[in-house]
Amino acid sequence: MERHMEAVLKNLTSSVELLAAAAQSGVVEQWDKQTLSRAFRWARYCEHLVSRFHNNPAMVRVMEKQLQFTNQSLRAAFCGYSDVSFSDLSRCQHLLLVGLLNNPKLPISLMKMLFDTTSPVNTNNSEYQDVTGFCSHIIQSKFACKVLRPLTHSSLVGADAEVQGMMLMVRLAALLSQGSEVCRTEHFLDSVLQGCEGEPQHFCLVITAALLTPKNSSAETASQDFLLNWLEKKNSVLQTMCSALPTTLLMELAKKHVKFRDAYVDLLKKWASDMEYSIDDGVWVQNNSTPTVSFQKLTEHFLTLFEACPSQRDNVKNELIALKISDGDFDVSGLSVWGDLLSVLNR
Partner 1 sequence: MFYTTRPGFFLAPPSECTWTRSPMSQLQSLNLHQTSEPLLDVQEMQFWLDKAVAWGQADSPDTQKDSCLHFRRLIEFLQQLLTHINNMSSTTESMKRMPFLGQFLGRLCWNSCIIADDTSRRLLFQCLWGLYSEQPGNAVERKANQWIRKVLCQLATEVDDVAVQELNKSMGLPPEEYHLKVLRKMVALLQENVGMSCNFSGNTNERCSCDSILATSEACVPLVSCPEAAPLIGALLQRPATCVRAHLSEDFLDALSSAYSSQGLSLEEPAIVSLWYHSLSSLEEAMLSLLESVLADTGSPLQKLEERIAQSVLPKACAQHCSIFLVASDIFRSVLKQTEGNESVKSLIQIFTSCFLREMAALQPQKCISLKAFFPQSPQRLLVPLLTLPSEMPQKAWRHHLNWLSSSLQRLAEEEDSSSSTRGNHKVFEAWFLLVQCSQWMQVTLQLLVMSVPEDCGPLLWLLTFYHHPTNRGHNKALQLTRAREALDHLLSLFSVLAGPLPFDRLQSLVTLLSSQPQQPSPSSLLILNLLVGFAVFFQQSLNKSTEILQTVVDQSGLVDEAACVLRSLELRLNEGSCLSGDANRVHLRIEALQNTLTHMHAGRSPAVNQARTLTHSIAGEST
Based on CB atoms, which residue is closest to partner 1, 35 or 122? 122
147 makes contact with partner 1 (CB under 8 A): yes
Residue 40 to residue 47: CA distance in whole angstroms = 11
Q: How far apart are CA 320 and CA 323, in angstroms?
A: 5
Nearest Cα residue to 244 out of 275, 200, 284: 200
Q: Does 162 bind partner 1 (CB under 8 A)?
A: yes
Is residue 196 a contact residue for partner 1 (CB under 8 A)?
yes
Q: Who contacts 19 (Cβ-Cβ below 8 Å, separation ≥6)?
A: 43, 84, 92, 95, 96, 99
- Please report whether residue 191 would count as binding partner 1 according to CB under 8 A: yes
276's enclosing H/E stretch is strand 275-278
Q: Which is nearer to partner 1, 1 or 108 (CB)?
A: 108
48 vs 297, which CB is nearer to partner 1?
Answer: 48
Options 80, 198, 214, 282; binder of partner 1; rule CB under 8 A? 198
CB atoms within 10 A of CB 20: 21
- The C-alpha atoms of residue 214 and residue 236 are separated, in whole angstroms, by 26
Which residues within the stretch 200-219 sit at the binding site for partner 1 (CB under 8 A)? 202-203, 206
| 263 C-beta neighbours (distance < 10 Å), count | 20
Q: Does 231 bind partner 1 (CB under 8 A)?
A: no
Q: Is the separation of the CB atoms in 254 and 245 below 8 Å?
A: no
Q: Residue 171, interface with partner 1 (CB under 8 A)?
A: yes
292 binds partner 1 (CB under 8 A): no
Q: Compare residues 196 and 285 and give the one whose CB is closer to partner 1.
A: 196
- Angle formed by the axes of helices 159-177 and 200-212, nearest 10°: 70
Sole binder of partner 1 in the list 5, 7, 77, 144 (CB under 8 A): 144
**DSSP 3-state of 151:** helix
* 186 belongs to the binding site for partner 1 (CB under 8 A): no
The CA distance from 284 to 337, in Å, is: 7
Q: Is 110 helix (H, G, I), strand (E, B) or coil?
A: helix
> Would you say 167 or 182 has its CB closer to partner 1?
167
Residue 99 vs 339, nearer CB to partner 1 = 99
Minimum distance between the CB of residue 43 and partner 1, rounded to whole angstroms?
A: 10
Contact 20, 77 (CB under 8 A): yes
Pick between residue 130 and residue 274 the one whose CB is nearest to partner 1: 130
Q: How far is the CB of 183 from partner 1 (least distance, A)?
A: 17
Binding mask 97-136 for partner 1 (x = CB under 8 A): xx--xx-x---x--xx-xx-xx--x-------------xx
Closest to partner 1 by CB, 78 vs 143, is 143
Buried b (16+ CB within 10 A) or exposed e, 69-99: ebbeebeeeeeebeebebebbbebbebbbeb
DSSP 214: -
26-65: contacts with partner 1 (CB under 8 A): 47, 50-51, 54
93 binds partner 1 (CB under 8 A): yes
Tell me how far the alpha carbon of residue 92 is from its chain's centroid: 20
- Phi, psi for 109 (deg, rounded to 5): -65, -40
**Distance of closest approach, residue 141 Cβ to partner 1, in angstroms:** 4
* Stretch of residues binding partner 1 (CB under 8 A), selected from 8-16, 75-83, 198-206, 236-244: 198-206
Q: Name the one range near partner 1 by CB under 8 A: 160-168, 215-223, 247-255, 330-338.
A: 160-168
By CB under 8 A, name the binding residues for partner 1.
47, 50-51, 54, 87-88, 90-94, 97-98, 101-102, 104, 108, 111-112, 114-115, 117-118, 121, 135-152, 154-155, 159-160, 162-164, 166-168, 171, 188, 191-192, 194-196, 198-199, 202-203, 206
